[in-house]
Amino acid sequence: MACSRSMSRRLNSLLLAACLGMSASAASAQDVIKFGAPLPLTGPLAPEAIKQQQGYDLWAEQANKAGGISVGGKKYKVEIVYTDYQSNTPRAVQTTEQMITQDNVNFMFGAFGSGAAKAASSVSEKYKVPTIAATASSAQVYDQGYKYLFGTFTPNDTLTTPLTQIVRAKAPDVKKVAILARNDLFPLAIAQEMEKSAKANGIEVVYFEKYAINTLDHSATLSQIKSLAPQWIFVTGYINDLLLVRKQMTDQQIKAPVVTMIAGPAYQEFIDAAGPSGENITSAAWWHPAAQYSGKDIFGTTANYVKLFREKYKADPDYAHASASVSGALFQMAIERAGSLDRDKVRDELAKMEVMTFWGPVKFGPTGQIVSLEPPVFQLQGGKAVVLSPEIIRQGDFRLGVN
């Protein structure tokens, strides 16, 4: 009988411990804010995806070092849930649904690039989950009438217009441009904006063609461009695309006074791989480490963000890293201002946000796309990106001629 009572007491103790453990676990789970981040961590877009992951991780690390995100006087740790959609847009849609319905994330970061971000945003909109797209610039992403989607990139013409104006002012003999675009939402959209910018500035578009995703041989296309003798060659795509095009241009000895590539030259990987063949290539992006902003976000100044990034990754950040980091910082500010994890309240704080950050001034327009930035135009000179505009962060002057 005594043995039975002893066993009963031990069993009750075990049950009590289990219950307390479950309560502690539940409390612990409640002290975490989960952010979903679908990324193409494998496949051709992996180099860009890794940059985003680094940017998100740096923000999460800084937020957690500071004790987490404050919600109504209570601190919540940041947790980022990653999934690899293997550079496949339909998978990006599927993983977004899975994160919301199975992983129970509180908020979402958009999939990489305009195409995947647009496709996946239909899911987060359906579930009314506030989403910040860190790498989607095309207006077609934001013209769906969605209320829960926000983006940190200004429209594509904010890159092509100042670039064209610089070329027109500094190289008035440039009369003809050839445009080659990856047949994907962002690269094609920015090429179309380049066509508009060229025509508006009196530059004839003598060639405009698309190349398929995963194209490995551009020789016939480049030969046709060479025969037209344009003074400006404008190519869009991602790092691997543009390195390949540049190599095949060199193989065919194709030269022009102005060569522009978007978006590869913004990345150190492109600069290192291109070597001397990258000299004087022009480009544009949404942010540059040369910017000098003093923000209200967790990073504060641009200089501090660059310092923290260098300490963690032993390299300079580019716009892809910084956009991911500021996306997290903007969520943090919106949540803290809402004083709640209620998705509608956080969404409303994002919609009315008007704040200075290390990324620059942030204000979202009526479609959710940022309307407050002036993106830098730059040129590769001496193996590094030199900012040409805006004037406030200009580092050097435009040069003609590409090797």
Which residues on adjacent β-strands are paired with residue 107? 35
Q: CA distances (Å), 93 to each of 47, 145, 206, 283, 302, in order?
A: 20, 19, 38, 30, 33
One DSSP character per residue, 304-347 reads HHHHHHHHHHSS---HHHHHHHHHHHHHHHHHHHHTS--HHHHH
Comparing 29-33, 96-100, 183-187, the range with the smallest average pLDDT is 29-33
C-alpha–C-alpha distance, residues 54 and 315, integer Å: 11
Q: Which pLDDT belongs to residue 392?
A: 84
pLDDT score at 375: 93
> pTM for the full model?
0.83
Could you write out the three-class secondary structure of 55-94? HHHHHHHHHHHCCCEEECCEEEEEEEEEEECCCCHHHHHH
Lowest mean pLDDT among 15-29, 68-82, 158-172, 382-396: 15-29
For residue 51, pLDDT beyond 70: yes
Whether residue 48 is predicted with pLDDT greater than 70 in this model: the reply is yes
CB-based burial, 384-397: b 16+ in 10 Å, e otherwise? ebbbbbeeebeeee
pLDDT for the residue 28: 43
For 76-95, what is the mean pLDDT?
97
Q: What would you report as the CA-atom Rg of the chain, rounded to the nearest whole angstrom? A: 24
Q: What is the pLDDT of residues 117-167, one digit of tens each?
A: 999 999 999 999 999 999 999 889 999 999 999 999 999 999 999 999 999
pLDDT at 403: 58
For residues 263-284, give the mean pLDDT.
94
What the chain holds in terms of domains, given with CATH numbers, is 31-154+290-363 (3.40.50.2300), 157-285+377-393 (3.40.50.2300)
Contacts of 32 by beta carbon, 8 Å cutoff, 6+ apart: 76, 77, 78, 79
Pairing between β-strand 176-182 and β-strand 232-236 as defined by DSSP bridges = parallel
Provide mean pLDDT across the span 280-308: 95
d(CA 393, CA 259): 22
Average pLDDT, the chain: 91
Per-residue DSSP letter, 276: G
* Confidence check: pLDDT of 15 > 70: no
Interior angle at CA 288, CA 282 and CA 294, nearest 5: 155
CA 300/CA 292 separation, integer angstroms: 11
Task: Give the residue-averaged pLDDT of 3-23.
Answer: 40
| pLDDT tier at 290, thresholds 50, 70, 90 | confident
Angle, helices 239-251 vs 219-228, to 10°: value is: 60
Q: Quick count: other Cβ atoms within 10 Å of Cβ 309?
A: 22
The arithmetic mean of pLDDT across residues 369-393, rounded, is 93
At 160-200, the pLDDT tens digits run 999 999 999 999 999 999 999 999 988 999 999 999 999 99
Residue with tokens 């193996």: 383
Q: Which residues contact 188 (CB under 8 A, 6 or more apart)?
A: 181, 182, 210, 236
Of 121, 128, 113, give the one whose Cα is nearest residue 96.
121
Nearest alpha-carbon partner for 332 in 20, 44, 67, 26 = 67
Residue 25 has pLDDT above 70, yes or no: no
* Predicted confidence (pLDDT) at residue 10 exceeds the cutoff of 90: no
Contacts of 28 (CB under 8 A, 6+ apart): none
Question: Which residue, chain included where needed, has tokens 């207006």?
Answer: 139
- The answer to whether residue 317 scores a pLDDT higher than 70 is yes
**Gap between the Cα atoms of 324 and 135, Å rounded:** 8
Long-range contacts of 301-304 (CB under 8 A, 24+ apart): 301/358, 302/358, 302/359, 304/358
The answer to whether the beta carbons of residues 128 and 343 sit under 8 Å apart is yes
Q: How far apart are CA 107 and CA 225, in angstroms?
A: 46
Could you give the CA distance from residue 65 to residue 179 in angstroms, rounded to a whole number? Answer: 47
* Whole-angstrom distance, CA of residue 343 vs CA of residue 129: 6
DSSP-based three-state secondary structure for 355: strand
Distance CA 183, CA 197 (A): 19
